[in-house]
Structure 1
Amino acid sequence: MRTEGDTWDIVSSVGATALGVAAARAMETEEPDALVRDDYAALFVTASRHEGMNRLLDDPSVRDGSMLSSGMIGLRTKFYDDHFLAAAADGVRQAVILAAGLDARAYRLPWPAGTVVFELDQPKVLEFKRQVLADNDAVPAADRREIPVDLRDDWPAALLDAGFDPSAPTAWTAEGLLPYLPGAAQNALFERVERLSAPGSRLALDALSSSLDLDKMIDFEDEYMKNSPMSGIDLRGLFYTDDRAEPEAWFAAHGWTATPVTVSELAVRYDRELPKLPEQFEAMFQGSRFVTVANPRTAPSA
């Protein structure tokens, strides 16, 4: 179970979910019509020495029925890639990846010259990522700056100390983050993003419907995935289900505009056919949405 101030590495607690997402990105990369390419994802899984995740990559026969191989992470990754690329095209040269996990966008996206990418996450997670990338002679395509910090704490000070410029427009992401924060910490995170965002800033995030019965969904997921590499991850023990603001409503109340898109709409956007899922999972995916919120004031393009 989660506790106040708990920490993790890449093979435990919340960190293990980041490893699972990396495994899914690695599998997407292998597809002939891959939505995204992340050649670093498999390197992270291999270096982790996690038996189940490596088996998933090494033996395609064990992927049948795995939610990691359903293509959902491909859709999610493409959504966030496009968020950063659109911001860059609009002249934004500052990016902040909240809960960066094993995100390798600082290395694999074509960032314009002068772009600074800040990555925030637990110290052990960033340390693992840094070592794997260094061992493989990876070179970032932007000015990448690590910020080892717990997002439940006062992280803006660390961000500012790393050279973040609150007067410049920023592209933020909170990918796969919100369920792992207590409601108060989520709302505090929104307040801090809003306070640090200059005109022309935007944030992309994903969220689950507040009406979703997470306990019921997790019960079914435990049964459905009992033979998968994700079976050892107890989402009930990792998610927070306390009261919190709906992201669109919170930002709308602060003068930002919100553009949500469902999983089905995202599949249409990227010309992908959604996989056939067990009925019990349909509510989860239909209750999920990807949201871009933007400061309605605009900044001059570069």
Structure 2
Amino acid sequence: MRTDDDSWDITESVGATAIGVAAIRAYETSREDALFHDPYAAKLVAAVGSEGWNAMMSGALSRRSISDGDYQAWSMGNVLVARTVYFDEYFAAAVRAGIRQIVILAAGLDARAYRLEWPSDTRIFELDQPKVLAFKARALADGEPAADRREVPVDLRQDWPKALLDKGFEPDQPTAWLAEGLLRYLPGHAQTQLLEHVVELSAPGSRMAINLGTGSGDPADEFRERRRKVMADAGLKLDLEDLFYPWEGREDPRSWFAMHRWLVTEGDPVALLEDRGRAVPEAVRAGMTQHILMTATKPRGDDTL
């Protein structure tokens, strides 16, 4: 059961979800028709030393008592692939717009500082629990970031703006923020507080990218039990919904940013995959449409609302 002051390392609670994301990115990278390439994902999963996570990374779990389509549904594979493509393109657009300050909130095992192309003067701040960042540093010790990567070990429910500023963040410079796979792991009030901090720290021209499941697409109890059993058989004890805070009492970030006079654009995860030639199983299409992909941009003086 989650509490407002709980903590974790990479192998437990919310930390373990980062391994699952890396495993799916590694699996996607291994496909002949891969929509992105993350050569660091497999290394991060292997560093955990878990047969279960290695099985997910190789796609072997899809052959354990469930169909391929069902596997894609319970693993959120389609959503994770779509959001990875969306956010990779988001950062590419930010760089083209001249933004050189990047903040990844709850960075987990995100390897974008290593695998994407960045101008040499880019600074990338990665915020997460100290134990999570320490694990990633060990696993990627022989890697070389493509930009000035700065770790900010902090709990996002605490005073993370001070920790970020102490690492050299410049609030007068436009920033590209990312909250990937984060907001449902925060209580509603903590989500609002985090977004308020982002607005306060953002210079004109800054942008914020977010994904968030609305709750209406959460799986039924029967489906959750089937997924739980498959994972348990592989030695993995993880139930995403047990880690989520409820959607109720939470503000929709699309309307929240619009209310703060940021320009909001949305992405469609189903269309994003299909436009790139990736078929989306009918069984997961409805759930994907309940998943928010969005970018909010703080207008400059010459922008119009």
TM-score by length of 1: 0.90
Which SS does the other structure have where 2:143 is aligned?
coil
Note closer, same or farther for the CA distance 1:48–1:61 as it changes in structure 2 (3 Å cut).
Answer: closer
Q: 1:258 to 1:142 in 2, by over 3 A?
A: same
Q: What is the deviation of 1:154? A: 1.4
For residues 91-126 of structure 1, give each alpha carbon's deviation from its aligned partner in whole angstroms, at most 9, with x where no partner exists. 000000001000000000100110000000011100
Aligned to 1:21: 21
Q: Deviations over 1:168-193 (max 9, x none)?
A: 00000000111000000000011000
Within 2, Cα distance between the matches of 1:180 and 1:218?
20
Partner of 1:196: 201
1:83 match: 90
* Length, aligned pairs only: 293
Q: How does 1:27-66 map onto structure 2 within 5 Å?
A: 27-58=27-58, 60=60, 62-63=62-63, 64=68, 65-66=70-71
Q: Which residue is equivalent to 2:169?
A: 164
Work out the CA distance in 1 between the residues paired with 2:220 and 2:114. 35
* Distance change in 2, residues 1:61/1:98 (3 Å): closer
Q: 1:244 Cα shift?
A: 1.2
Within 1, Cα distance between the matches of 2:185 and 2:119? 32
CA contact (8 A) 1:152 1:185 kept: yes
Distance in 2 between residues matched to 1:61 and 1:149, nearest whole Å = 34
Alignment CA distance shift 1:118-1:298 (3 Å)? farther
**Aligned mate of 1:261, from 267, 272, 295:** 267
Tell me which of 279, 291, 296 is aligned to 1:273.
Answer: 279
Q: Secondary structure of the equivalent of 1:259? A: strand
Q: Equivalents in 1 of 2:254, 2:277: separation in Å? A: 26
* 1:123 and 2:130 correspond: yes
1:271 is paired with a residue of what secondary structure? Answer: coil
Gap regions ≥5 residues in structure 2: none
Q: Structure 1 counterpart of 2:237, which letter?
A: G
RMSD: 2.1
By how many angstroms is 1:58 displaced?
Answer: 4.7
User: Per the alignment, do residues 46 and 231 of structure 1 end up closer, same or farther by CA in structure 2, a change over 3 Å counting?
Assistant: closer
Whether the 8 Å CA contact 2:61–2:71 is kept in 1: the answer is no
Whether 1:185 and 2:207 are equivalent positions in the alignment is no
Q: In structure 1, what is the equivalent of residue 254 of structure 2?
A: 248
Which residue of structure 1 aligns with residue 80 of structure 2? Answer: 73
Aligned residues of 1:217 and 1:284 also touching (Cα < 8 A): no
The residue number in structure 1 matching 2:117 is 110
Separation of aligned partners in 1, 2:164 and 2:147: 17
Equivalent residues of 1:36, 1:78 under 8 A apart: yes
TM-score by length of 2: 0.90
Quote the offset at 1:144 in angstroms: 0.1
Query: Does the aligned pair in 1 maintain the 2:29–2:36 contact within 8 Å?
Result: yes
> What is the percent sequence identity of the aligned residues?
50
| 1:271 positional shift | 3.5
5+ residue gaps, structure 1, are none
